[in-house]
Amino acid sequence: MTKRIGFIGCGQMGQAMIQGMIDAGVVKAEDIAATALSDETIDFVTDEYGIQIANDNKRLARESDLLFLAVKPYVYQGIILEIRDEVPEETVVVTIAAGITLDAMKEAFGRNVKVIRSMPNTPSLVGAGMSVLCPNDFVTEEELADVMEVFESFGQAEIVEEKLMDAVPAVSGSSPAFVYMFIEAMADAAVQQGFPRDKAYKMVAQAVEGSAKMVRETGRHPGELKDAVCTPGGVTIAGVNKLEEVGLRSAIIQGMNACTDKSKELSGKK
């Protein structure tokens, strides 16, 4: 890809994306530039990734073919006010935040701009991310393919309709937090039974990773895979029954719905 890629903001998610692109050979380090507020971040990112980094958002906006806004949602209005007259017509702007709609981006820029909403997740840091993209009508198929290539360099990516974007945080953006809670709870139980904590985390994390891989690679229904583990009268079905009794499924569904409700609130739909 012979694109100039810019990141306004270079926190953990921005760094994960940059690392993924460089490692996958999607783009060379010298073709990536970023901005950051603190000198500490500027020095670290320069040393760690070998990219150009400074604090001039306007210049970065002028010189980028793909411009990632990798900042918190509450910062968007101020950043766009700063750069909106600098972004070239052909530049594709990629948002990385919940609740920032395509219409909101158009209103903030005051003109038609090529925009792609995206929602990556933190496993992108280890090359196992799940990202969801939603382009507006001004993005070409070729441009969308270029952005997909970027996101697929640190995991997997899917394109969805914008009406589904408010549910994405629950499905893939926030859900790693729920999985971490699950892993922590299972490890706590293992420690209670006498396992050293480091071994408990290793064993539980591998069990979760392997289970996810079974779902993805076999294509079998999760319920069918669960049934295959449950020997009649055995220990697994006893555990499954207890989890059903205390409402595991209901708790997960309620947590995900709460995420979606908050996402809708941020985007002004509630």
The response to whether 70 counts as a known ligand-binding position is yes
Q: Is 257 annotated as a binding residue?
A: no
| Pairing of the two strands 129-135 and 114-119 | antiparallel
| Local confidence band at 202 (pLDDT 50, 70, 90 cut-offs) | very high
Query: Does the annotation flag 112 for ligand binding?
Result: no
Annotated binding-site residue? 25: no
SS (HEC) of 212-250: HHHHHHHCCCHHHHHHHHCCCCCHHHHHHHHHHHHCHHH
pLDDT band, residue 11 (cuts 50/70/90): confident
Query: Which of these, 98, 71, 75, 73, lies nearest to 264 by C-alpha position?
Result: 98
pLDDT, tens digit, for every residue of 212-257? Answer: 999 999 999 999 999 999 999 999 999 999 999 999 999 999 999 9
What pTM, to 2 d.p., does this model score? 0.87
Give the pLDDT confidence score for residue 1 in this predicted structure: 64
Q: Is 105 exposed, middle or buried (0-12, 13-18, 19+ CB in 10 A)?
A: buried
| 11 is an annotated ligand-binding site residue | yes
**Which residue type sits at 65?**
D
Query: E strands, the chain, where?
Result: 5-8, 32-35, 52-54, 66-69, 92-96, 114-119, 129-135, 155-159
**Which domains, and CATH codes, for the chain?**
5-162 (3.40.50.720), 173-266 (1.10.3730.10)
* 13 in a known ligand binding site: yes
Q: Is 94 among the annotated ligand-binding positions? A: no
Residue 222 labeled ligand binder: no
The span from the CA of 52 to the CA of 57, in Å, is 13
What's the whole-number mean pLDDT along residues 119-128? 89
Is 6 labelled a binding residue? no
Query: Quick one: what percent of the chain has pLDDT higher than 90?
Result: 79
Is the Cα dihedral 232, 234, 236, 240 positive or negative?
A: positive
In three-state secondary structure terms, 85 is: coil
Q: Is 199 annotated as a binding residue?
A: no
- Do the annotations mark residue 9 as ligand-binding? yes
Nearest to 266 by CA among 47, 4, 72: 72
